[in-house]
Amino acid sequence: MKLNSASRLLRATALAGVAAAAFTHAQMACAEDAAGADAEPDDAIVVTGSILASQQASVEAKRKAINMTDIASADAAARFPDQSAAGALARLPGVAVQRDQGQERYIQVRGAPNRWTSVSIDGVPMVGVDEGGDTRAFRFDAIPAVMLSEMVINKSLTSNLQADAIVATIDLKTYSPLDRLGFHVDGDVGYGLMGHGGGQQRQGSLRVSWSNDSFGIVLGGSHYLRDQITDNREPGYDDTGEPTTFSVRSYKLERYNNGLFGGIEWSPEEGQKLYAKVIWSEFADNEERNQYDFAVSGDTVTGISGMFNDGKYRNRNTIGLIGGDYDDFNGFTASFKANYAKTVNTTDLPLVRSSMSTVGDMTYTLDDPRFPIFSDNDGSFSQTNLSQAGTILLPLEQRTESDSYTVKFDMAKELGDLTLSAGLLYADRDIAGNVMSTSSYAAIGYVGSLIGQPFNVNDYVTSTGWDTDYPLGLSLNYVDNKAMRRGAEATLAAMEAAGLFDPAGVIEDTTRYNQREKTLAGYLMGTFVKGPLTVAGGVRIENYSMDNAGWLNIEGDYTPKAYSASKTDFFPSLNIRYEASNDIVLRLAGQRGVSRPAYGATRVGASVNDTSKTIEGGNPLLKPEYTWGVDTSVEWYLPGNGIISVGAFYRWVDNVLYSAQERVNSDFYDTPGFDTRADYLFSGQYNGKSGKLYGVEFNVQKQFDFLPGALSGFGLQGNLTLLDGDFEAPDKNGVLQTYDFQGMSRTIANASLFYEKYGLSARVSYQWRSHWLDTLGGLGSGEYRAAYENLDVTLRYAVTDDFTLYADLANLTNETYVAYADSLSHPTEVERIGARYLFGVRFSY
């Protein structure tokens, strides 16, 4: 499998190199001919078509940028089969995407942990608050691509950008109605199917805008939905690597994204603008789980249990922004922005679990380690053999809510070749929530029947067989998850009335946190431009404070606890840009950045056991991760709309975060009369030692405009990123070991061959990333994700200038996503969702 993937990558790289060399040679010849005819370089190519126009705009913006950037325009997002910002950004150099059941969610720039990439919307910093506050990573699947005009990945920092970024900060820029005069209506409607299960896939968007010379307004909305079935297998192993259990799962999912946005802009004079914008977005996941866990010994099945749920996941964002830009304010340029952002993330996951009363004579074979095949040797297996007495309910609930207020002011003054810039930012954020806990459960089998609410899990087994592509050997039927949830909730309500269940105990107090963070930042930057040389240097000063409150559970006795910290840091940056010729741009950059730990990880709440001398919970003493970094690149801008570039970077990182079990080594958990907990074993997150991340990025984009006739419609986009790095942390014995960074693939490749001419716009896109470490435990163990590829095809045909037919065909390789422990022979998760087919129309008036 590795050899096949590697050979495919080598062939793709070789072909890209040959193609690049060929069109580069031809392009140079064309440029020489043009020079002989006294033609200006900018007039050599006439660009038409949406792909080419958006590509040219992105390349030109990259060329003019002071710092190292990669840019995707809104049209580029619409031309790919991507419904969210995550899928569109994954096409850019050095960008990998983390998927949840096949759907893009998090962005990893340069293979680094997703927490090392920060996000802003229209220049205002945003902080991600995911399930339980376990990460600050921003969820890009909650932002529909249709509301954006441009996505900018800043790979090197300038002082006017937030310092909370180790590898990159991404600015999502929303649509401006003043960009187009008059009345405009843009939108699309599409419908299709999921290849696995045949569920529907649909999307629609509408954007209405109007503007004159001074006033503009825009309103819009979007909707995307998919009904999918996910095949899933999750084996477990003992210390010798022998299987101990096989979890066989089928998920029936309804996932949808909704978005609404609006904006008003007023430009009373040239260079002056006032605006107000509102964005609301929602990601929802309705998950029905059917799961059977087969305990095994040797080749014999020794026990079977089932787990079922009708779960609800929600992530909602509300963002309000007002601001103004002034290009000539008493000789200064200035901008002001005030932002309110609210994020609410909830999980409602009532898991019903029951064991089989009898197993019978059942064995299994494992010719393919991904797919156990079970044999019911005596014909005694029955899904309706789940024990009513052994049925329990885990009423899992989680809610995290963040309210933030941000004010940002920037100004600049041009003094000949030197431009001085300065600015202030103040952010005030309240975060309250809890991490997921399984400490509370209710027995709802016979206990329920004793209070007049019988609950028998077997009553909910249907006659509908699983829709699965995976071999199994057994025939399994779906349960009615929704009806089962109603029955379980009715049983719990009766138990509560009888005093047998307390819903207040579902969320353990030690999992809760209540935090307030404040950031006050200021910067001073100078940009010097002299001929082909641009030097931008400055320093950013940030004071960050955190007030943290929670509860300690000391063997059933709850004690309130609080912790506050404040620190001022300096973040210098330097960017040098040099135009070696009309076509060559050289860059060199240096910076210092920071990444702060997640809210749930730093919570005060913890459970203390004085008998076993252990503590489990949050670690408010965690330090931020700091980095020093350098970047350099050579960019060759080809006539027309092309680019060939090579970039390299290096990051030195201190205080790398990881999960572990180590000695407390502090008096934080001591209480009056009990001051000996410094040597307890603590299970949670720690700061490791130093780490390093480095890599090289290759990028090529070009239309083959030098080819004759119809062949000139072909073009190529491709990028290849090679990465390496590691960090040091102690193992379970306290010995310093070296570990990979979570989420770092050593190779990331994207390639697209497109054709655009005569109203036809077509693109074949291929993505590949090598394996990476997904989770790292404190015992030196970890879970890896295997390499995978994605092949997508998009087709567009412009019936008229305003009306386009389209087809988006995604995941045509029907990829199987595999997680594994030490090798592919020990998979820990095997998942597949199938291809996706979407057809529709786009319109623009």
Query: 16: pLDDT confidence band, cut at 50, 70 and 90?
Result: very low
At residue 701, the pLDDT reads: 87
Residue predicted with more confidence, 335 or 41:
335
Could you count the other beta carbons within 10 Å of the beta carbon of residue 35? 12
CB-count burial class (<10 Å; 0-12, 13-18, 19+) for 736: exposed
At residue 26, the pLDDT reads: 39
Average pLDDT over residues 724-732: 82
Mean pLDDT of the chain: 84
At residue 263, the pLDDT reads: 94
**Domain spanning 2-844: CATH superfamily:** TonB-dependent receptor, beta-barrel domain (2.40.170.20)
At residue 524, the pLDDT reads: 97
Check pLDDT > 50 for residue 35: no
Query: 115: pLDDT confidence band, cut at 50, 70 and 90?
Result: confident
Task: Identify the weakest region by mean pLDDT among 165-179, 561-575, 825-839.
Answer: 165-179
Check pLDDT > 90 for residue 586: yes
Residue predicted with more confidence, 447 or 39:
447
At residue 43, the pLDDT reads: 30
3-state secondary structure of 801: coil
At residue 450, the pLDDT reads: 54
pLDDT of 774-819, one tens digit each? 876 544 457 899 999 989 898 989 999 889 999 999 899 999 999 9
Query: What secondary structure does DSSP assign to 137-155, as a single string?
Result: ---GGGSBGGGEEEEEEES
At residue 525, the pLDDT reads: 97
Residue predicted with more confidence, 129 or 198:
198
At residue 780, the pLDDT reads: 45
User: How far is residue 480's CA from residue 464's CA, in Å, rounded to a whole number?
Assistant: 10
In the chain, where the domains are located: 2-844
pLDDT of 352-399, one tens digit each? 998 888 888 999 999 999 999 999 999 989 998 888 766 888 888 889
At residue 50, the pLDDT reads: 55
Sequence-ordered list of residues with C-beta below 8 angstroms from that of 137, at least 6 positions apart, any chain: 106, 114, 115, 117, 128, 130
Q: What percent of the chain has pLDDT over 70?
A: 86
What amino acid occupies position 144? Answer: P
Query: 297: pLDDT confidence band, cut at 50, 70 and 90?
Result: very high
Average pLDDT over residues 660-684: 80
At residue 532, the pLDDT reads: 96
Residue predicted with more confidence, 24 or 317:
317
81-90, 229-238, 439-448, 635-644 — which one is most confidently predicted on average? 229-238
Q: What percent of the chain has pLDDT over 90?
A: 48
User: How far is residue 191's CA from residue 194's CA, in Å, rounded to a whole number?
Assistant: 10
Residue predicted with more confidence, 545 or 128:
545
Sequence-ordered list of residues with C-beta below 8 angstroms from that of 354, at least 6 positions apart, any chain: 305, 306, 386, 387, 388, 390, 391, 392, 445, 457
Task: Identify the weakest region by mean pLDDT among 328-332, 350-354, 435-439, 543-547.
Answer: 435-439
Degrees to nearest 5, angle at CA 506 with 501 and 510: 135
At residue 285, the pLDDT reads: 92
Could you count the other beta carbons within 10 Å of the beta carbon of residue 3? 7
At residue 78, the pLDDT reads: 41
Check pLDDT > 80 for residue 272: yes
Average pLDDT over residues 215-228: 93
Residue predicted with more confidence, 41 or 455:
455
Check pLDDT > 50 for residue 32: no
Residue predicted with more confidence, 484 or 670:
484
Contact 774, 740 (CB under 8 A): no
* Residue among 237, 240, 245 at smallest CA distance from 303: 245
Check pLDDT > 90 for residue 89: no
**Helices H, strands E: what count in the chain?**
6, 43
pLDDT of 506-548, one tens digit each? 888 888 889 999 999 999 999 999 999 999 999 999 999 999 9
At residue 447, the pLDDT reads: 56
At residue 402, the pLDDT reads: 92
